[in-house]
Chain A
Amino acid sequence: MISFIFKRLLQSIVVMLTVALIAFSMFRFVGDPINNMVGQDTSQEEREALTERLGLNDPFIEQFGRFVLHAAEGDFGISYKYREPVSKLIEGRLSATLELSFVSAVLALVIGIPAGVYTALRSKGILSKGIMTLSLIGVSLPTFLIGILLILFFGVVLRWLPTFGRGDVVAIGWWTTGFLTASGLKSLILPSITLALFQMTLIMRLVRAEMLEVLRTDFVKFARARGLPDRAVHFKHALKNTLVPVITITGLQLGSLIAFAIITESVFQWPGMGLLFIQAIADVDIPIMAAYLVMIAFFFVIINMVVDILYYTVDPRLRADSAT
């Protein structure tokens, strides 16, 4: 177990260094950082002084090393546009994105898994056929369209829910949360549904397919032959075996929830990292882009590592000490 985690950690570090290299190379190849920082009337001497002060004349390895060390401390430099430390900009928005992604993930799991189980067990029922048809819509409609339709219906026509922003937030240290105010919670509803819909249908279809597969296996048949009631067969034996592959996919999807919240954040003007990133692209604000890249990679790596460990605890066959 420990050697397994250690190996995973090593791999993660390699991944992070690679991503850092890509992020770092953006500084050098996408535009001239000095040009981005200074005005038109800066003299050549001042430019050179700035270059020297920022360490841009140092060898590549030295600059990269400095970048990695700073990034490890959460320091990604100063935004070209906002003239503020990137870490500070991200700090304010990280909580928004994470809360949105978290609520979406919970929604996707809480609705997706039971719906998948239900449609697998009652595969011929009218309700499951209905769910399956709806899920096709969920998979095939693009996120922004769903978001716009939801805004139109619940925001504009019915006027039940706010259509943009986070509502009122409460700050706990550097973390701002919308969970504690009514308007914050209300604002969460539409974006989180929009973001969750695709994942929900994906998880549902995955659970359904896996469940149907597991229900055909010998051990389920043997459990029935022992007289176990359907409830025990379905939920104790079949569902647990279904979850092994579901955990993997869900982990990957959770990562992409955070990474691809961009579209939802734009539609709902959600003050998260995705929105910041979109604006940064428009402004060629490279420190923000680099920071975003590294942050997202970091989340993916962490989530995948957690998933691997989960996998390991759920499935006894993967444990190294199992050879007897």
Chain B
Amino acid sequence: MDLLNINHLRIEFPSRHGTVVAVDDVSLTVHPGEVLGVVGESGAGKSTIGNAVIGLLEPPGEMTGGHILLKSQQIDTLNPEAKRKIRGRRIGMIFQDPLTSLDPLQTIEQQLVETIDLHLKLGEKKSQERAVDLLRQVGIPDPENRIKNYPHQFSGGMRQRVVIALALCAEPEVIIADEPTTALDVSIQAQILELMRRLCKDKQVGMLIITHDMGVIADITDRVAVMYHGKLVEEGTTEKILGNPDHPYTQSLISAVPRPDIRLRRFPMVNYIEEEGERAKNIDLSTHWLGRVRDYEALEGPLLSLKNLVMTFVTKPALLKRNRMTFNAVDDVSFDIGQGEVFGLVGESGSGKSTVARMVCSLYKPAAGAVNFAGTDLTRIKSENERDFFRRQMQMIFQDPFSSLNGRMRVLDIVAEPIRFHKLASSSREVEQIVMDLLDHVGLGAQAALRFPHEFSGGQRQRISIARALATRPRFLICDEPTSALDVSIQAQILNLLKDLQEELGLTMLFISHDLPVIRQMCDRVGVMKTGKLVEVSATEDLFENPTAAYTRELLDLMPRLDQLSHKGLEVEAG
């Protein structure tokens, strides 16, 4: 028997500019013990489906067509009180961000007992026992004691386990998981997905898992539904969708997924995906300002050389030095980056990779060690002028395209600021011309200059960031997770753009990511970091084919298995 039926669901969001159809005629079925994946990019309407099933559509959204059946009982027409009784009892929900899903002021015991007692009416004592039991089931060590803790005393992965325990409190028949592992590291993601799969099979729960991540889809789902602009474009078994998709959108989506197993020259761009920046006007770099011969002295050896870098943070301040608690975020890290090389730095959150980047561009002052850039130790520079000289040669692209641009400045001023500051152009006319050329070159078009950042999507904003970084004519770029906040298709475009620019301008890059497949596509050499230490440095292909360090092997094993993905239309890089 079908567990959950969604028939011809249509959800509309009325707004001042007419009605937006978020979900358009979508039909899905979930069977007991089955994991159905709903995949699509942001704005595809996949989360809206989850919210509609659990009866928590955000106003002004409303269901204007279709119905939702739970074990043949229509649930979308129930009154609010009856809907509430289904929530948690028969349908459980898991959200994306475990850091914000729990009430910070209550112990997890209070939250678990409250929910268990509400649904199962077991009374205080029995509820407590069940809470401990649930925590044990989701793999929290020492549950009898940990249950007294507050959410902030757990790590992200552990908190997601608590969230899952909360969703399981009353043994629901259906679980809706909305991006359950997006905020987690690969190793934690693998554990959580394994846990969810096991619970699903053991308890014959039907699971609807909403994600944009093909790795998650490949890892856990039995069947997949692909959504695009509110419509269901394709549905089938996971093998079929990943290995042999029919619909052009699915094909393009899958071809944009970074491969862990092969290195591509470029990501193929299928026209189906919109927002591909058209390079209306490429600059002729041989004559343009941007390509003008850089006045850097010829250099023997590596451009950047880190020697025994150490960064220490104080975790518990105290007046007396012996009472102070410190921790080495970066511990004795040394590596070189040759000219024109793309060096990848990979590791889980907290491994210190971003801290290294910040020390390289002098945002942090290292506790010990040297940062040699073009033969000069940046940690010993005293004069502001000299520092500016090096800052100009070194630019950074940040992870979050939403907070890294000043919302009150026009794009023109954002991109022009470094040019003006470093006095790289002779007149304001020239500055404007350069900015427009840069915007053209990164695929935004010159007319973007007069608009404000909020008018752009995440991918377009990241292009603005790139244009801004190029505006000092740097020879060294630091990219700190430049695409991890973006959809796959947009990520593919941005990575293509960075690859092209790197080739055209001969840039040297430090590329930081937690995403191994992305690293494989982008980097020449890779360093693997773990808890502040560099555990392995080797050429990218060697690292992926013959990892030496045990931790690297572990990381590689944790990568989602994407080998079933279709290879249709891919250009594999030779050698």
Interface assignment of B87: CB less than 8 Å from any CB of chain A = yes
B153 nearest in chain A by CB position:
A324
Judge whether A229 is part of the interface by a CB distance below 8 angstroms: yes
Q: How far is the CA of A223 from the CA of B167 in the complex (A)?
A: 10
Do residues A232 and B114 form an inter-chain contact, with CB atoms below 8 A? Answer: yes
Q: A228 near B118 (CB under 8 angstroms)?
A: yes
Total count of chain A residues near the partner, CB < 8 A: 26
Say yes or no for A322: interface residue by CB 8 A criterion. yes
- Asked whether, in the complex, the Cβ of B119 is within 8 Å of the Cβ of A227, the reply is yes
- Interface 0/1 of B130-153, CB less than 8 Å to A: 000000000000000000011011
B103 at interface by CB-CB < 8 Å: yes
CA distance A222 to B56 in the complex (A): 10
- Do A219 and B166 contact each other (CB < 8 Å), given the known contacts A225-B56, A316-B152? no
Q: When the two chains form their complex, are residues A241 and B101 in contact, meaning their CB atoms are under 8 A apart? A: no
A219 in contact with B103 given A226-B115, A322-B153 (CB within 8 Å): yes
On whether the beta carbons of B150 and A322 are closer than 8 Å, the reply is yes
**B102 CB → nearest A CB, Å:** 6
- Bound: A223/B169 CA distance, A: 12
For residue B54, which residue of chain A has the nearest CB? A225
Interfacial chain B residues near A223, Cβ < 8 Å: 103
Q: How far is the CA of A295 from the CA of B304 in the complex (A)?
A: 62
Determine the chain A residues whose CB is within 8 A of the CB of B163 once the complex forms: 222
Interface membership of B548, Cβ < 8 A: no
Q: Is A323 an interface residue (CB 8 A)?
A: yes
Determine the distance from Cα of A51 to Cα of B170 in the docked complex, in whole angstroms. Answer: 83
Chain B nearest CB: distance from A312 CB in Å? 12
Docked pose: A323 CA to B152 CA in angstroms: 9
Which residues of A289-315 have CB atoms within 8 Å of chain B's CB atoms? Answer: 314-315
With A226-B88, A228-B88, A317-B152 as contacts: A241 and B103 at CB distance below 8 Å: yes
> Which residue of A has the minimal Cβ distance to B50?
A225
Interchain CB contact under 8 A, B88 and A317: no
Tell me the complex Cα distance, A322–B85, Å. 35
Of B97, B104, B152, which contacts A241 at CB under 8 A?
A: B104
B402 within 8 A of A: no
Cβ of B93 < 8 Å from any Cβ of A?
A: yes
A237→B106 contact, CB < 8 A = yes
Interface set, chain B 66-102, CB cutoff 8 A to A: 84-89, 92-93, 95-97, 100-102
Q: Is the CB of A226 within 8 A of B166?
A: yes
Nearest A residue to B318 via CB reads: A3
Q: In the complex the two chains form, is A317's CB within 8 Å of B150's CB? A: yes
Q: State how many angstroms separate the Cβ of B119 from the closest Cβ of chain A.
A: 7
In the bound complex, how far is the Cα of B85 from the Cα of A84, in angstroms? 71
Known contacts A317-B150, A323-B315: A224-B101 contact under CB 8 Å: no
Task: Tell me if B105 counts as interface (CB < 8 A to partner A).
Answer: yes
* Contact B56–A224 (Cβ < 8 Å): yes
- Is B115's CB under 8 angstroms from A218's CB? no
A314 to B150, CA, bound (A): 12
> CB distance A225 to B88 under 8 Å?
yes
Cross-chain contact B105 with A316 (CB below 8 angstroms): yes
Q: Complex formed: what's the CA distance from A323 to B85 in Å? A: 37
Chain A, 194-224, contact with B by CB distance < 8 Å: what is the 0/1 string? 0000000000000000000000011101111
**Bound-state Cα–Cα, A227 to B102, Å:** 15
Q: Considering the chains assembled together, what is the distance between the CA atoms of A315 and B315 in angstroms?
A: 19
Q: Which residues of B contact A241 (CB under 8 A)?
A: 103-105
In the complex, residue of chain A having the shortest beta-carbon distance to the beta carbon of B149: A324
**Which residues of B sit under 8 angstroms from A225, Cβ to Cβ?**
54, 56, 87-88, 92-93, 95, 167
Query: Which residue of A219, A226, A236, A316 is within 8 Å of B150 (Cβ)?
Result: A316
Cβ 8 A contact of A218, one of B101, B114, B153: B101
Q: Is A240 an interface residue (CB 8 A)?
A: yes
Report chain B residues within 8 Å CB of A221: 56, 95
**In this complex, what residue of B is CB-closest to A232?**
B114
For window 334-390 of B, CB contacts with A under 8 Å fall at none
The answer to whether A236 touches B97, judged by C-beta atoms less than 8 angstroms apart, is: no
Q: Which of B88, B97, B105, B150 has the most CB of A within 10 A?
A: B105
Q: Could you say which residues of chain A place their CB within 8 Å of the CB of B114? A: 228, 232, 236
Contact of B87 among A227, A232, A240, A244 (CB under 8 A): A227
Q: Chain B contacts of A240 at CB under 8 A?
A: 103, 105-106
A227 to chain B, nearest CB (A): 3
**Cross-chain contact B88 with A219 (CB below 8 angstroms):** no
Q: Is the CB of A227 within 8 A of B105?
A: no
CB-CB under 8 A for A226 and B152, given A217-B100, A232-B114, A236-B114: no
CB-contact partner of B89 in A227, A229, A314, A322, under 8 A: A227
Q: Is the CB of B106 within 8 A of A227?
A: no
A259 to chain B, nearest CB (A): 31
Closest to B119 in A: A227
Residues of A within 8 A of B103 (CB): 219, 223, 237, 240-241
Q: Shortest CB–CB separation between residue B108 and chain A, in angstroms?
A: 11
CB distance from A100 to the nearest CB of B (A): 33
Instruction: Note all chain B residues with C-beta closer than 8 A to A237.
Output: 103, 106
Contact residues in B for A228 (Cβ distance below 8 Å): 88, 114-115, 118
Q: Note all chain A residues with C-beta closer than 8 A to B100.
A: 217-219
Chain A hits for B166, CB < 8 A: 222, 226
CB neighbours (8 Å) of A236 from chain B are 106, 114
Most buried by B among A219, A223, A224, A323: A219
Whether the pair A226, B104 counts as a contact (CB closer than 8 A) is no
Q: What per-residue 1/0 map shows which CB atoms of B403-423 lie under 8 Å from chain A?
A: 000000000000000000000
Is the beta-carbon distance between A227 and B104 smaller than 8 angstroms?
no
Cβ-neighbour of A222 out of B85, B101, B106, B153 (below 8 A): B101
B150 touches A224 (CB 8 A): no
Knowing A322-B150, A322-B153, say if A222 contacts B102 (CB, 8 Å): yes
In the complex, how many angstroms separate the beta carbon of A178 from the nearest chain B beta carbon? 38
Tell me the smallest distance from the CB of A46 to a CB of chain B, in Å. 53
| Complex CA–CA separation, A19 to B508 (angstroms) | 59
Q: List the A side residues contacting B88 at CB < 8 Å.
A: 225-228
**Interface 1/0s, chain A 90-125, versus B by CB < 8 A?**
000000000000000000000000000000000000
Give chain B interface residues in 24-39, CB to chain A under 8 Å.
none
- How far in angstroms is the closest Cβ of chain A from B144? 15
Assembled-state Cα–Cα distance A62/B283 (Å): 78
How far, in angstroms, from A181 to B30 measured CA to CA in the complex? 72
Nearest-neighbor residue (CB-CB) of B150 within chain A: A316
In the bound complex, residues from chain B placing their C-beta under 8 Å from that of A229 are: 84, 118
Min CB gap B122→A, angstroms: 15
The listed residue with most B CB atoms (<10 A of its CB), out of A219, A226, A322, is A226
CA distance A324 to B92 in the complex (A): 29
A88 CB to nearest B CB, Å: 42
When chains A and B are docked, how far (Å) is the Cα of A226 from the Cα of B88?
4
Q: Is the CB–CB distance between A219 and B101 below 8 Å?
A: yes
Residue on B nearest A230 in the bound complex, by CB = B84
Question: Measured between C-beta atoms, what is the minimum distance from A314 to chain B in Å?
Answer: 7
Contacts of A322 in B (CB 8 A): 150, 152-153
Instruction: List residues of chain A with CB under 8 Å of any chain B CB.
Output: 217-219, 221-229, 232, 236-237, 240-241, 244, 314-317, 320, 322-324
Given contacts A226-B169, A227-B89, 11 further A-B contacts (CB under 8 A): A219-B101, A219-B102, A221-B56, A221-B95, A225-B93, A227-B87, A232-B118, A316-B152, A317-B104, A322-B153, A323-B316
Return the 10 tightest CB-CB contacts between A and B, nearest first. A227-B88, A227-B87, A226-B88, A225-B93, A218-B100, A316-B150, A222-B101, A324-B153, A219-B103, A237-B103
